[in-house]
Amino acid sequence: MYFASDNWAGAHPDIARSLTEAADGYARAYGTSDLDKKVEHTFNEIFERDVAVFFVGTGTAANSLALASYNRPGGQVFCHAEAHVNVDECNAPEFFATGSKLVPIEGPRGKMPVEALSAAVARFSPDNVHGGQPVAVTLTQATEAGTVYELDEIAAIANVAHQKKLPLHMDGARFANALATLETTPAEMTWKRGVDILSFGGTKNGCWCAEALVLFDPGRAHEMHFLRKRSAQLFSKSRFIAAQFDAYFRGGLWLELAHHSNAMAAGLAAGIAQAKSARLAWPTGSNEVFAILRNATLRTLRDKGAALYDWPAPAEIKATMAEDETMVRLVTSFATKPEDVERFLSLCD
């Protein structure tokens, strides 16, 4: 019963096999191999336009380089208060941008309210050198709360950003899960709704170590080449990242894996909603479920081998909790089995 993180899951067999195949023989280095170029073309097909693709090793690197590419002196980047860039990346976005600052915005269930974003951006006067200058907006899809921005919500945030001539970055660590939930296309969830640059994640959805920066304006690629090299993210044997993406996309595997993990989360959420000693904190929209468990039940689950994390409850949720209750986060993955979900739920009754 491994529900601690989708990072705990291994690699899908097709992806592991592709890595083994790429290990045979010789190939050009530093992103110039035939396989690298093939996968770059696949990204163009997926997003229905020419894009610039940069392979990196981690989501933190992708997010940091994306925001660094737009930084200017006194740069202010607007994000949700619970965003990964703000609370889980050890200030890497600010480090790689050499002096930018994240401006956190509160909002329920991991989403930035458009009105709050607009007000936060408006606080910075273009002529006030003391306050710095806005340089970007970033949103997370799916969010850290397991929710998903609807397409019109993405467009509304992009509108606020673009009115101030700010680029919109999307942290897509769980991009495939959000896409599966919305039943839309990559193009519709990104550039057609105003996203300028995307951190495209594969690691949480069956890859071993595969992340990519997708620039919807290929004209900005020249600068990114230098930023990636300077940050030590230009892999000499980048064909091994390409090999993962090659298998990931082949035959729609990436969406199949995301649909599975979402389905496992939906089953988990449905069971918790009916359980005697557990309840949902809020409805899930992807592969993350937030629940409130009685402490005795939580101890039993852990004694029986369940892996999950305690999670800090927002004020409005904490006000509804009894002293003997704890809020937890449960994350499903491509490797989650229905019997794991069933066993977990049986221990909640």
Q: How far apart are the first and last CA of the chain?
A: 16
Tokens of 6: 């989708």
In whole angstroms, give the CA distance from residue 187 to residue 137. Answer: 19
Least confident of 37-46, 127-136, 215-224: 127-136
Smallest CA-to-CA distance from 249 within 179, 189, 198 is with: 179
State pLDDT tens for residues 157-214.
999 999 999 999 999 999 999 999 999 999 999 999 999 999 999 999 999 999 999 9
State pLDDT tens for residues 78-104.
999 999 999 999 999 999 998 899 999
Q: How big is the chain by its Cα radius of gyration, in Å?
A: 21
State pLDDT tens for residues 302-344.
999 999 999 999 999 999 999 999 999 999 999 999 999 999 9
DSSP per position, 78-122: EEETT-HHHHSSTTHHHHHTTS-EEEEE--GGG---HHHHHHHHH
Mean pLDDT of 59-78: 96
Q: What pTM value is reported for the model?
A: 0.96
Is the predicted pLDDT of residue 127 greater than 90, yes or no?
no
In whole angstroms, give the CA distance from residue 125 to residue 225. Answer: 32
Residue 349 has a pLDDT of 81
Residue 234 in contact with residue 31, Cβ under 8 Å? yes
Residue 100 in contact with residue 67, Cβ under 8 Å? yes
Mean model confidence pLDDT for the chain: 96
In whole angstroms, give the CA distance from residue 229 to residue 54. Answer: 11
Across the strands, what pairs with 103? 78
Across the strands, what pairs with 104? 79
Smallest CA-to-CA distance from 181 within 208, 211, 143 is with: 143
| Alpha carbon distances (Å) from 308 to 8, 172, 290, 327 | 11, 23, 11, 11
Give every CB contact of residue 187 below 8 A, 6+ residues apart in sequence: 47, 48, 49
